[in-house]
Structure formats: structure tokens, C-alpha cells
């Protein structure tokens, strides 16, 4: 399946076996957010997740990490150009605006109210997402390397 051609931005469930060292069966049982580890906006998102995900539902991985690269490769997504957030939820994979809106529903009020934007047409939502994604480094900046999580938050990462 070609993920970029999927109009719903949902990739079918990850098979239980893979030739990579990532335990895909274990990953399928989790909620995983992949983000660009050098993007300051994306790092802000990861800090938001750590702060407000009190039940620790989400595991995080940068797309540049070994785990992130393995997941991207397994899903047939680019491993060298990162222009989308990826959200894995119990075997379903969501991309771009759908990834954000499917994830934000799990956060406390008032943040979950943002999920109402799922009713907007996908094309419009993703045009807005792409506009931000294309300009994120220019607007928000970027780090020279991925930020290493502190010891307290390390268990939140794959």
C-alpha cells in the first residue's frame, strides 16, 4: 500500500512479524507518536505530550532514532525526509493533520476540543498542516541534533 495515496491518511495495521529488530507486536499494542527530533515545534509537541499525558498512554520516538527509522521503513514512509507526524494507535497509523487530531482527543480539557477540527475536509486540513510543516524550521527553528530526553522522561521514548 502506498501511504501517500491513502486519502484517509490511515495505513493498515502493522503485521505482527518484521525482519527488523523492532518488536512490532509490542509496538502495535501501544500509542506511538513519531516526530522530527531536530524541529523545535515538534520538540515542543513532545514536551506537551510528556506534560499532559498523565496516564502515560503515549510512547514517543524521533524519526531520526533507530526505532523511528525502523517504523518508517516498515510502513514504507521516507526515512530521510520528514514532513509528517506519524501516530500509531493500536495498529492503525495516522498521518499529518489526522495524526494530530486523533492524538489530541486523548488529552485533558481544553486541549481535546481541538479534535473538533476533524470535521473539516481532509484536503483543507492537510494543506494547513503542510504549510506549517514546510515552514517549521524557518518559523520555529531547528536544533543541530536531536535533543536527548532527561532521565525522568527516558521511559516515555522507544
Domain ranges of the chain: 3-147
Please answer whether residues 11 and 93 qualify as being in contact, where contact means their C-beta atoms are separated by less than 8 angstroms. yes
Q: What is the pLDDT of residue 127?
A: 97
Q: What is the pLDDT of residue 115?
A: 95
Q: What is the pLDDT of residue 145?
A: 79
Residue 141, helix vs strand vs coil: coil
Model pLDDT for residues 81-109, shown as the tens digit of each residue:
888 899 999 889 999 999 999 999 999 99
CA distance 101 to 112: 9
Q: What is the pLDDT of residue 149?
A: 79
Name residues of the chain where pLDDT drops below 50: 1-20
Pairing of strands 92-95, 86-89: antiparallel
C-alpha cell at 29: 499494542
Model pLDDT for residues 43-57, shown as the tens digit of each residue:
999 999 999 999 999
Amino acid at each position: 500500500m502506498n501511504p501517500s495515496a491513502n486519502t484517509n491518511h490511515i495505513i493498515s495495521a502493522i503485521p505482527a512479524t518484521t525482519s527488523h529488530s523492532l518488536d512490532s507486536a509490542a509496538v502495535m499494542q501501544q500509542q506511538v507518536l513519531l516526530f522530527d527530533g531536530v524541529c523545535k515545534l515538534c520538540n515542543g509537541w513532545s514536551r506537551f505530550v510528556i506534560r499532559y499525558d498523565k496516564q502515560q498512554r503515549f510512547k514517543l520516538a524521533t524519526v531520526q532514532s533507530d526505532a523511528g527509522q525502523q517504523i518508517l521503513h516498515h510502513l514504507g514512509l521516507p526515512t530521510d525526509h520528514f514532513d509528517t507526524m506519524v501516530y500509531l494507535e493500536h495498529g492503525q497509523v495516522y498521518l499529518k493533520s489526522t495524526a494530530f487530531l486523533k492524538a489530541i482527543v486523548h488529552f485533558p480539557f481544553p486541549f481535546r476540543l481541538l479534535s473538533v477540527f476533524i470535521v473539516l475536509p481532509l484536503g483543507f486540513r492537510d494543506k494547513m498542516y503542510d504549510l506549517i510543516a514546510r515552514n517549521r524550521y524557518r518559523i520555529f527553528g531547528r536544533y543541530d541534533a536531536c535533543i536527548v530526553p532527561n532521565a525522568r522522561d527516558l521511559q516515555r521514548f522507544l
